[in-house]
Structure formats: structure tokens, C-alpha cells
Amino acid sequence: MGKTALITGATSGIGKAAAELFAKQGFNLILCGRRQERLEELKNELGRDTAIFTLNFDVRNREDVFSAIESLPKEFSEIDILVNNAGNAHGLDPIDKGNPDDWDAMLDINVKGLLYMSKAIIPQMVERKSGHIINIGSTAGKEVYPNGNVYCASKHAVDAINQGMRIDLNAYGIRVGAVNPGLVETEFSDVRFKGDSDKASNVYKGFEPLKPEDIADIILFVVTRPYHVNIADLVVMPTAQASSTIVKKEL
């Protein structure tokens, strides 16, 4: 039987592109998100290539995370690969003007949600002494940019958790690594700017951003290395980007 991968945030962007690519490679997939219609579409489309099981829950809700994982049928219950991808930025404001609801959302989803998912799945990996966790961080987890404050803090936390997991799970032979993208054109900026599509599309104007498929490719590369190879921490930016604030734009 093929390997089983669980992808959070599979309904859009990077997670969806990873789901599509993994399905073509024949991985059994557990696809997670909150938008049921999109989960159903994915099941119908990707179910032609591989076995798909969908789980609808909010990663912020600890009980729902654990009961979702416990509800998996036997054929999906052994998870070889966990892609901790669900997350977003909410707002882009200076610290004195930031909305605490946005702060809660980013810390609860990007940090605590990732921890709950990991806590629900790591024990079976420890028991089997094998498994692979890929944490989707960000360049925002490597440097702080103006108005990025709490989003950057959440992704710096992912960076620390990625390192901590690798240290603590070393004894069990579990692979842990992060993929840290720069600017990728997804629904990310629509969410950040709360549906203001002009503001969102402006982020990617004047240069060629990464596509979600570019990151999916890298995630597939990471998980298909021989087992003794662990890609611990990888930063990937569009060629036009040199740092969070330096982007060569031709407008």
C-alpha cells in the first residue's frame, strides 16, 4: 500500500497544489480544511487518482482536532507524512493599530493549530519509529518586516517548533523539516486584506511571484528523498525577491 499523507489547509493555495501533486503520485491522502464544498470537490477530482479521505475541522479547536484524527477509518489511520500547512496572515498593521482578534487568529491557527495537529499525530509516529513532519513556515519566520509583527511572530514560532520537534523526535527516527516560502500567489493576501481583492492582487503586481505548484513541487521533493535524508529547513523565494522588503518590481 502507498504512503498516507495528511495535509492541512488543503482547500486552497499551497495545500491544494500539494494535494493535487501528491494524488498524481499515488499517495493516500487525508485532506483537511473548513470549506466543505471544496473538500468535496477535491475528493471527487483527486479520488480518480488515489484514495482520499476528507476531514472538516478548525485547527483552532483542540477537541475537534483530536476527534477528527481519532475518527479516521483504519485504512487512513497510519499517517506517514504530516504537512502542517494551514495558516494565514490576518491584517498588516503597525503594532499600535493591530486588531487583537487578528493576533488571536494568527497565533491560534498558525502556532497552536500546528501544535494540536502535531500532538494528535506524533504518538503513532513515535510508536512506529518512523514518520515525516513538514512544517510550512515562511520568510516571515526568518526576518521581521514592517507591519508584519504578529504574523512574523507566529512564523518565528513555527521555526522554533520545527527545530524543537527535530531535536525531541530525533531519538525516534522521525524526519522533521520546514519549507519557508517567500511571496506565493494564493488566497493568502485576500485573507490578509479581508477580501479587498485590489489590495491583494497589488502584492503580486510587477514581478513573477511563486505559484503554489512551485512549493508543492518542493514538498514532494522533500518527502521523496531516501529515508536517511532529512531536509531540515528550506527557504524559497521568487527570483525577483531578495528579502521580505526587497522585491524587484517593474510597474
Helix (H, G, I), strand (E, B) or coil at 163: helix
In whole angstroms, how close is the CB of 116 to ligand NDP at the nearest point? 10
Mark the segment that binds ligand NDP (CB under 6 A) among 80-88, 120-128, 221-229, 237-245: 80-88
Query: Edge-to-edge strands of the sheet including 175-181?
Result: 52-56, 28-33, 4-7, 81-84, 132-136, 175-181, 233-236
Question: 116, 145, 151, 172: which one is catalytic?
Answer: 151
Tell how many helices (H) and how many strands (E) occur in the chain.
9, 7
Annotation marks residue 151 as catalytic: yes
Report the partner that residue 14 touches, choosing among ligand 8X3, ligand NDP, none (CB closer than 5 to 8 A by kind): ligand NDP
Assigned C-alpha cell, 243? 528579502
Contact 11, 87 (CB under 8 A): no
Q: Is the dihedral of CA 108, 68, 217, 228 positive or negative?
A: positive
Instruction: Confirm or reject binding of residue 183 to ligand 8X3 (CB under 6 A).
Output: yes
Query: Of the candidates 11, 85, 138, 162, which one interacts with ligand 8X3 according to CB under 6 A?
Result: 138
Instruction: Confirm or reject binding of residue 177 to ligand NDP (CB under 6 A).
Output: no
Instruction: Confirm or reject binding of residue 33 to ligand NDP (CB under 6 A).
Output: yes
Instruction: Confirm or reject binding of residue 12 to ligand NDP (CB under 6 A).
Output: yes
Report the partner that residue 241 touches, choosing among ligand 8X3, ligand NDP, none (CB closer than 5 to 8 A by kind): none
Contact 13, 187 (CB under 8 A): yes
Q: Which residues bind ligand 8X3 (CB under 6 A)?
A: 138-140, 148, 182-183, 244
